[in-house]
Structure 1
């Protein structure tokens, strides 16, 4: 199963938990892997509080500067690749009786690093 995320800014954090949950079969048990098929976006598990989501955007920008990278000579987005590499391209979450077994404050967050774009997110239950 897959769904699309539309982002509006160069760095953009979106809570996709409900969309992942909607992609699960009602009788699913096991694990759900959420995978982003892009080298300049990531997915993480964290709290979807709006100020924290802005902090995530700010933190990835502080950790990886916008400029000064060799890859920028090709398409000027090396920072996006490096930020996504730190975040990771997938998360795996337990599934019980068709429900994501996340902790109280946990959600699945999609993190855009090279937007705005239209991105595909894959959900696989195993």
Structure 2
């Protein structure tokens, strides 16, 4: 059994979803691990990770709109240290989650046909985000 880990960095362009599926697949291929479990952790409290449809961009638009309705800016939040999108970003990260576990089979992530891995940026401004990646397998 082998373990491999790293921290991958991504630049976001502000609120929205960054597809990181290819970057994760490249990293996985470089490890040479064919069977195992891939764990991802977003190292931030105002961004998150999710697996979502990768074909219709309207899915991500609808998801972003829904999250905005659940955690709107301008709410009566006690925490607004970094602006009106600060606490809503934390709420959205809580709702969508900061970690993923993905089985690895035959050297590939066992994602479904229409699934992609997305880094969700919940802040209005672009950010530098880090994802801790851990793989255990053989």
TM-score by length of 2: 0.83
What does residue 69 of structure 1 align with? 77
What does residue 17 of structure 1 align with? 21
What does residue 12 of structure 2 align with? 7
Query: Offset of 1:12 from its aligned partner?
Result: 1.3
Query: Offset of 1:60 from its aligned partner?
Result: 1.2
| Residue 116, structure 1, aligned to residue 120, structure 2 | no
Structure 1 residue corresponding to 2:42, chosen from 31, 36, 39: 36
- Unaligned 5+ segments in structure 2 are 1-5
Query: Offset of 1:37 from its aligned partner?
Result: 0.2
* 1:12-54 deviation per Cα after TM superposition (whole angstroms, max 9, x unaligned): 1011111111111222311101110000000011112312122
What does residue 60 of structure 1 align with? 67
Tell which structure's C-alpha radius of gyration is larger: 2
CA RMSD across the alignment: 1.3
